C-alpha cells in the first residue's frame, strides 16, 4: 500500500508537469487527469488514516526532460500499469474499483493525445515569448519560479495533510480553499517555467514540514511567509515592469492574491486560538 | 559548460536529493535565524580510512541551499573522510566571497556533511550516539535589513 501510495503521488506529479509542456488543448485534459490522480491520492490517504497507519509524501525524482510529448504520455501509461498491478494492496474494494475504472478510461484517452515537440520546455534559454527581459529581470524571475513552484507544491501537500487529519469543518473549508489557490499558482508558475525552458518537478518534501505539532505556530509562520512572498512579487513586478507590462501585471495580481491567503490564515488562526 | 549553466543544471536536476533509509549516519546543519536546515545521509565503506560510498541530502531551505547541496554532495561522493574534510575547509574558507544569504546556505550544507561524518565516527564507539547538529555562524541578514 505504501508503494501504491507513492506511485500514485508520482503519477499525479508526472501528469501535472506533462500538462505544462503541452501548448494545445491537451494541456486541459492532462490537468483534469492530474486532478483525478490527486483525488486518488486523497482516497488512499484516507484509507491509511481510517486504519491508523502512518504514511508520508516521499516521492522519487521524476525525470521529465523529453523531446516529444508522446514520451511522457507513454511514461504516464507505464506508471498507470505499474499502479494497476499494486491495486490489490489497498483493501478498500470501492476505492480499487473507482481507481481501476478511471484508469481504464484515462489510458485510452491518453493514447489519443496528439504528439507535440516539447524540447523547448527544457532548453534553459530563459526567454519568454515576445518579451525582452533584462539580465536582472531574467535572473530574478528564474529564482522566483524555482522557489515558488516548490513552495506551491509544498503548500498543496501541507494543507492536504492538515485537512486529511482534521475533522474540524471550519478549518477544512479554509484548507481546501488554500489547496485550490496553491494549485492555481503552481499551474501559473509551471506554465511560465515551460515557456522559459526551465521546467522541472519540485523536490520531495521533508516529512517534518507537513507533520507539525503546533497548528497555531504553523499558521503564524505561514502568514509571515505569505508576507515575504508578497514582497517578492512586488520586487519582481518592479524588476520586470520595464521589460513586460504583462509580467508586471501578473505579479501584481499574484501579490494581491496573497492578501486573500493571509486573510484565510488569519481566520484559521483566530479559530484555533 | 560555464558557471551559469552548471548552476542551472543543479537547479533543474538537483543531484543526490532525497532520504537514504539505510544510511550509516545522518548529520544536520541548521540556520537558527530562519529555521532552515539541511540533513545529510551517508553510507560508508571502511578501507584504510572511511570512504563516503553514497550520500544524499534533504533540506528545508531555499533554491541556493539545494544548489549548494547538489554540488557539495556530488563532490563528496566516493571520497575519503580526510578528502571530505579538505572540501569542507576549502568551502568554509571561500564563504566571504559570497553574499551573506548564499554563504549561510553553503555553510549549512558543509556543516551537515561535517556532522554526518562526526556522527559516523561517534557511532563506531557508541551505536546509540544521537544525530549531531551544527549551527551556522554566518549572519544571513541582508545588509539593507540591518539598517
Q: What is the pLDDT of residues A167-191, one digit of tens each?
A: 899 999 999 999 999 999 999 999 9
- Quote the minimal CA–CA distance from B123 to chain A in Å: 24
Interface test with A, best of B11, B41, B133 (most A CBs within 10 A): B11
> Could you say which of B5, B35, B66 has the minimum Cβ distance to residue A203?
B66
- Is the Cβ pair A124, B17 closer than 8 Å? no
Question: Predicted confidence band at B146 (pLDDT cuts at 50, 70, 90)?
Answer: very low
User: Given CA atoms A32, A35, A41, A44 in this order, what sign does their dihedral have?
Assistant: negative
Interface membership of B60 toward A (CB under 8 Å) = yes
Separation between Cα atoms, residue A63 and residue A76, nearest integer Å: 12
Higher-confidence residue of B79 and B3: namely B79
pLDDT value of position A213:
84
pTM of the predicted model, to two decimals? 0.90
Instruction: Band the pLDDT of A256: cuts 50, 70, 90.
Output: confident
Residue A222 pLDDT level (bands cut at 50, 70, 90): confident
For B12, the closest of A147, A150, A198 (CB atoms) is: A198
Q: Is A124 on the interface with B (CB under 8 A)?
A: yes
Tell me the CATH number for domain B3-141: 3.90.1010.10
- pLDDT one-digit tens code per residue, B17-73: 998 989 999 999 999 888 899 999 999 999 889 999 999 999 998 899 999 999 999
Task: Determine contact: B112 vs chain A, CB below 8 A.
Answer: no
pLDDT reading at A249 higher than 90: no
B30 close to B134: Cβ distance less than 8 angstroms:
yes
Report in angstroms the alpha-carbon separations of A10 from A26, A34, B51: 20, 10, 33
Output the pLDDT for position B144: 54
Q: What is the pLDDT of residue A229?
A: 80
Residue of B18, B56, B101, B102 to mutate when probing chain A, most A C-beta within 10 A: B18
**Whether the predicted pLDDT of B145 surpasses 60:** no
Which one-letter DSSP state was computed for residue A117? Answer: B
CB of A198 within 8 A of CB of B8? yes
Comparing CB atoms, the residue among B8, B17, B39 nearest residue A203 is B17
Does residue B97 register a pLDDT over 90? no
Per-residue pLDDT of A55-72, as tens digits, reads 999 999 899 999 999 999
* Of B97 and A234, more confident: B97
Q: What is the distance between the alpha carbons of residues A153 and A32, in angstroms, rounded to a whole number? A: 17
Domain ranges of chain B: 3-141
Three-state SS string across chain B, please?
CCHHHHHHHHHHCCCCECCCCCCCEEEEEEECCCCEEEEEEEEEEECCCEEEEEEEEEEECCHHHHHHHHHHHHHHCCCEHHHHHHHHHHHHHCHHHCCHHHHHHHHHHHHHHHHHHHHHHHHHHCCCCCCEEEECCCCCCCHHHHC
Question: Which residues touch B6 (CB under 8 Å, ≥6 apart)?
Answer: none
Cβ of B59 and A206 within 8 Å? yes
Q: Which of A122, A198, A203 sits opposite B14 (nearest CB)?
A: A203
- Mean pLDDT value of segment A254-266: 89
Mean pLDDT of chain B: 90
Mean pLDDT value of segment A112-118: 96
Contact at CB, B5 and A124, closer than 8 angstroms: yes
pLDDT at B140: 67
Mean pLDDT of A238-259: 82
pLDDT at residue B139, as a whole number = 75
Which of B3, B58, B141 should one mutate to test binding to chain A, selecting the residue with the greatest count of A CBs within 10 A?
A: B58
Q: Tell me if chain A has a CB within 8 Å of the CB of B130.
A: no
- Whether the pLDDT of residue A140 is over 90: the answer is no
Residue A250 has pLDDT above 90, yes or no: no
A204 and chain B in contact, CB less than 8 A = yes
Domains of chain A: 1-120 (1.20.1260.10), 123-273 (1.20.1260.10)
Least confident range from A15-19, A136-140, A202-206: namely A136-140
B2 pLDDT more than 80: no
Does B7 score more than 60 pLDDT?
yes
Give yes or no for residue B147 having a pLDDT over 50: no
**Is the dihedral angle over the CA atoms B86, B35, A5, A106 positive or is it negative?**
negative
| pLDDT of B111 higher than 90 | yes
* Whether pLDDT at A162 is above 80: yes
- High-pLDDT (> 70) share of chain B, %: 94
The answer to whether the CB atoms of A61 and B18 lie below 8 A apart is: yes
Amino acid at each position: 500500500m505504501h508503494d501504491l501510495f507513492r506511485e500514485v503521488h508520482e503519477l499525479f506529479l508526472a501528469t501535472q508537469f506533462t500538462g505544462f509542456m503541452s501548448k494545445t488543448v491537451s494541456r486541459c485534459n492532462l490537468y483534469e487527469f492530474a486532478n483525478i490522480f490527486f483525488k486518488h491520492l486523497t482516497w488512499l490517504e484516507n484509507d491509511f488514516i481510517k486504519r491508523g497507519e502512518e504514511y508520508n509524501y516521499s516521492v522519487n525524482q521524476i525525470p521529465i526532460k523529453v523531446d516529444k510529448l508522446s514520451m511522457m504520455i507513454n511514461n504516464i501509461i507505464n506508471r498507470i500499469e505499474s499502479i494497476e498491478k499494486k491495486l490489490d494492496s489497498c483493501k478498500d474494494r470501492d476505492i480499487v474499483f473507482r481507481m481501476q475504472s478511471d484508469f481504464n478510461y484515462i489510458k485510452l484517452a491518453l493514447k489519443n493525445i496528439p504528439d507535440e515537440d516539447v524540447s523547448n520546455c527544457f532548453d534553459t534559454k530563459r526567454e519568454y515569448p515576445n518579451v525582452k527581459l533584462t539580465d536582472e529581470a531574467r535572473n530574478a524571475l528564474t529564482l522566483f519560479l524555482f522557489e515558488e513552484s516548490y513552495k506551491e507544491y509544498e503548500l498543496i501537500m501541507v494543507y492536504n495533510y492538515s485537512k486529511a487529519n482534521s475533522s474540524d469543518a471550519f478549518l477544512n473549508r479554509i484548507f481546501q480553499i488554500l489547496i485550490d489557490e496553491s494549485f492555481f499558482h503552481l499551474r501559473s508558475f509551471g506554465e511560465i517555467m515551460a515557456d522559459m525552458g526551465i521546467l522541472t518537478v519540485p523536490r520531495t518534501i521533508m516529512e517534518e514540514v507537513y507533520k507539525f505539532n503546533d497548528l497555531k505556530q504553523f499558521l503564524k509562520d505561514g502568514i509571515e511567509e505569505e508576507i515575504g512572498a508578497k514582497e517578492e512579487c512586488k520586487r519582481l513586478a518592479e524588476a520586470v515592469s520595464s521589460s513586460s507590462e504583462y509580467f508586471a501585471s501578473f505579479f501584481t495580481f499574484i501579490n494581491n492574491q496573497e492578501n486573500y491567503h493571509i486573510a484565510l490564515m488569519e481566520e484559521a488562526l483566530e479559530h484555533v486560538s | 559548460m560555464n558557471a551559469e549553466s552548471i548552476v542551472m543544471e543543479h537547479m533543474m536536476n538537483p543531484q543526490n536529493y532525497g532520504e537514504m533509509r539505510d544510511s550509516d549516519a545522518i548529520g544536520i546543519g541548521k540556520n537558527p535565524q530562519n529555521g532552515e536546515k539541511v540533513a545529510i545521509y551517508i553510507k560508508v565503506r571502511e578501507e584504510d580510512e572511511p570512504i563516503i560510498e553514497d550520500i544524499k541530502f534533504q533540506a528545508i531551505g531555499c533554491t541556493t541551499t539545494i544548489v549548494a547541496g547538489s554540488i557539495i554532495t556530488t563532490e563528496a561522493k566516493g571520497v575519503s573522510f580526510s578528502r571530505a574534510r579538505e572540501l569542507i575547509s576549502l568551502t568554509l574558507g571561500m564563504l566571504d566571497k559570497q553574499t551573506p544569504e548564499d554563504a549561510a546556505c553553503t555553510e549549512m550544507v558543509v556543516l551537515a556533511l561535517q556532522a554526518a561524518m562526526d556522527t559516523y565516527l561517534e557511532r563506531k564507539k557508541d551505536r546509540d550516539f544521537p544525530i549531531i547538529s551544527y549551527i551556522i555562524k554566518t549572519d544571513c541578514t541582508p545588509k539593507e535589513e540591518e539598517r
